[in-house]
Amino acid sequence: MRGFLLLSAVLIAIILVSGCTIPGTDIEIPWFGGQQTVEYKDDIIIIKALDVTPGKEVKPGQALTLYADIQNLEEPRFGGEGIEVTVELYDHCTTLFSNVDVKCPEGSGSGAKCENIEMRPQEITSIEWVLTPKTDIKLKTPCTLKVKVTYHYETRVVTHITFIAENELNSRVRRGEPWRTTGSSVIGYGPAKPYLVVESQQPVSDSENVWGYVSLTIKNVGYGYVKNSQIEKNIEIEHENFLDMELAKEGGGTCKFEKTPIKLINKQSSPLLCRVKPSGVVEIEQTYDMEANIEYDYEFRKSVRVTVTP
């Protein structure tokens, strides 16, 4: 946790110096109103290539080999441990092919599936399936072979919110000094991301009846699918002890989604809206950290079309 917060501080410092890009990286920096957000890579495990030999057209009884190259896109400098993946030929036209054999690089394999494959950052591994068309095919018959790779992942976000003492704010306004600040947020690797956004203009006054408002929305920004289009575990916005936070509705309550699993409709959840304020006195100006972490199972798919021609 301490390392992640240190990383976020370094990234924010780079942004302030260099503008809207981080030199030498593939990190995207979109804007959310008055909040600048750093995002790491979206898709983590992909099917880099999917092809067949000897060709995409074979005769009845002639075996063909389907191979898939699976790649872990994580950067070695940000992650050392491997990710356990499962690769499956989940649709292979069972009425067309009489036999399917799978060759797994490690772990265990059965039927058309390879399980418990550990992949290190930037590693590429290959899976092969040998399929034999039935010998009694009388008509030219096409088939789309469909492969998926699934894995479990976690993505964390750290967002900063700044409060200012009411007297300090009034003094700056009277003196004609600039007082608005730009918020910042850092979102880690992963195809599903938690967007924790400060909706209020910053810095937020620490006046007695003034709250800062934040929203949390989960989005599938990758090219694959969150399993069952839902997040199974509930998510609570974590924050420092110096902050008071509650749901932004009558009666308040703990700042977390009211129902689980959290449904993703059109690739995103409904927003969770909360309000926050310092629990103590702000002498001049103070910035606080808020965090959220999501866990999910993700699926990346790819397909190739073959034809059995008598």
Residue 122: how many other CB atoms lie within 10 Å:
12
> Could you read off the pLDDT of 136-181 as tens digits, one per residue?
988 999 999 999 999 999 999 999 999 988 888 888 888 887 778 7
Comparison of pLDDT for 213 and 183, the residue scoring more: 213
d(CA 233, CA 218): 12
For residue 254, pLDDT over 80 is answered with yes
| Residues 6 or more apart whose Cβ sits within 8 Å of residue 248 | 211, 213, 273, 274, 275
Topology (CATH level 3) of domain 45-149:
Immunoglobulin-like (2.60.40)
Nearest to 57 by CA among 128, 133, 126: 133
| Mean pLDDT, rounded, for 286-290 | 89
The DSSP H or E segment spanning 277 is strand 272-278
H helix count then E strand count, the chain: 2, 22
Comparison of pLDDT for 28 and 239, the residue scoring more: 239
Nearest to 50 by CA among 307, 301, 309: 301
For residue 31, pLDDT over 60 is answered with no
Comparison of pLDDT for 244 and 127, the residue scoring more: 127
Q: How far is CA 209 from the centre of its chain?
A: 36
> Could you read off the pLDDT of 212-235 as tens digits, one per residue?
899 999 999 999 999 999 998 888
pLDDT for the residue numbered 34: 60
pLDDT for the residue numbered 24: 34
Q: Which residues of 127-149 are buried (b: 16+ CB within 10 A; e: fewer)?
A: bebebbbeeebeeebebebbbbb
Nearest to 109 by CA among 124, 94, 128: 128
Q: What is the percent of the chain with per-residue pLDDT over 90, rounded to a whole number?
A: 48
Comparison of pLDDT for 17 and 188, the residue scoring more: 188
d(CA 124, CA 141): 33
The DSSP H or E segment spanning 226 is strand 225-226
Domain parsing of the chain, residue ranges: 2-42+153-298, 45-149
Cα three-residue angle 195-203-14, rounded to 5 degrees: 60
Mean pLDDT check: name the lowest of 59-68, 244-253, 256-265. 244-253
Q: Which pLDDT band holds residue 258 (cuts at 50, 70, 90)?
A: confident
For residue 195, pLDDT over 60 is answered with yes
Cα three-residue angle 274-279-285, rounded to 5 degrees: 95
Q: Which pLDDT band holds residue 107 (cuts at 50, 70, 90)?
A: low
For residue 13, pLDDT over 90 is answered with no
pLDDT for the residue numbered 22: 34
